[in-house]
Amino acid sequence: MTDDPVRLYRTVRLIRRFEERAIELVRSGHIVGGIHPYLGQEGIAAGVCAALRGTDLVTGTHRGHGHVLAKGADPARTMAELCGRETGSNRGRGGSMHAADFSIGVLGANAIVGAAGAILTGAVWARRRRGDDVVGATFFGDGAVNEGMLLEAFNLAALWRVPVLFVCENNGYATTMPVQGAVAGTITGRAEAFGMPAAVVDGQDPERVRDATAAAVARMRAGGGPELVEARTYRFDAHHTFEHSVRLDYRPPQEVAAGRERDPVVIQGDRLPEATRRIVDAEVEATLTAAVEFALAGPHPDPAGALDHLYASGLVARTGGG
């Protein structure tokens, strides 16, 4: 299965420039609370989602803008969400770490490391039980593989043969903790222990990620159980934008420089004629300029609606005043 290389390039480029624009908006104070930039890891979200259907389900992480955009979220409404506007995908209630769009199968980024895998497993299981031909992909970092709840999700998914692709984005660090200091055994070995097929893939090459995902998804659609892909990658920027003002000393500069050399946007861009690339770049720029304009033009939510949607049942909470 192949996807148009131009589309794949467009996705990684879109995520790259989206993150760069978002960082500018953090600096200008329009995005409050900062973000966890996905810079350098774009090839994973782009490659995985290129091998999924629109109806398939995904969950993302705290570093989640790329996952949401690759699955097809509107950049304008996503940016508006980051800016906390009523026009955002979550009406400004979720922000960077909770961007969600159920209409395209994005059941949300999740701010608790390791927590989303079990949620996605349950969602895919339920949809299939109702007869829908869907599979799922859940993204998580190398830090998450040491969380009990994720390993418990591996077991449930494998035991009940739920077609979920567990996508580990191994960027070498959980905040400042290097993988070697945190992971006993291996990441793929964890999956294998539950009888799940597991593969390591070059996360900097969007086409390799896509191909690995496509192969796994084909097996899953044919009745196979869950699988794991460990995508080796490197985070080009800070763990979180707070690091732009507070220097944390944990990655040697030479390592960062070497890590940045294998750039998914360049790797995929080199597969396109220069003229095509220029056209895509211009389209992406126009999309993001419009997205930022849309985001900043959106109204701020009215504080009177601070508890909107708290209860789906219509229950109205007591307020906290005297």
Ligand X SMILES: Cc1ncc(C[n+]2csc(CCOP(=O)(O)OP(=O)(O)O)c2C)c(N)n1
Rounded to whole angstroms, what are the CA distances from 13 to 10, 48, 184, 314? 5, 15, 35, 42
186 binds ligand X (CB under 6 A): no
Partner in contact with 97, chosen from Mg ion, another protein, ligand X, none, beta carbon below 5 to 8 Å by kind: another protein
Per CB under 5 A, does 171 bind Mg ion?
yes
297 is a site residue for another protein (CB under 8 A): no
Q: How far is the CB of 121 from ligand X (least distance, A)?
A: 18
Instruction: List the single partner that 85 binds among Mg ion, ligand X, another protein, none, CB under 5 to 8 Å by kind.
Output: another protein
Of residues 122, 151, 175, 224, which one binds ligand X by CB under 6 A?
175
Position 112 contacts ligand X (CB under 6 A): yes
Q: Distance of CA 136 to CAs 55, 115, 132, Å?
A: 9, 15, 12
Contact assessment for residue 256 and residue 225, using Cβ atoms and an 8 Å cutoff: no
C-alpha to C-alpha distance for 100 and 177, rounded to whole angstroms: 28
**Using rule CB under 8 A, residue 305 touches another protein:** yes
Q: What is the DSSP letter of 301?
A: P
Contact call for residues 28 and 231 (beta carbons, < 8 A): no
Identify which range of 106-114, 157-165, 265-273, 298-306 contacts ligand X by CB under 6 A: 106-114
Amino acid (1-letter code) at residue 70: A
CA–CA distance, 54 with 107 (Å, rounded to integer): 13
Query: Got the DSSP string for 245-300?
Result: TS----S-HHHHHHHHHS-HHHHHHTTS-HHHHHHHHHHHHHHHHHHHHHHHHSPP
Decide: is 93 part of the binding site for another protein (CB under 8 A): yes
How many CB atoms neighbour CB 281 within 10 A?
16
Q: Residue 16 CB, nearest distance to ligand X (Å)?
A: 16
**Nearest approach, Cβ of residue 205 and Mg ion (Å):** 19
Shortest distance, position 112 Cβ to ligand X, whole Å: 5
Q: Least distance (Å) from ligand X to the CB of residue 36?
A: 6
Q: Which residues form the interface with another protein (CB under 8 A)?
A: 31-34, 81, 84-85, 90, 92-98, 110-114, 143-144, 146-148, 174-177, 181-183, 246, 248-250, 300-301, 303-307, 310-311, 317-322
Q: Which residues form the interface with Mg ion (CB under 5 A)?
A: 141-142, 171, 174
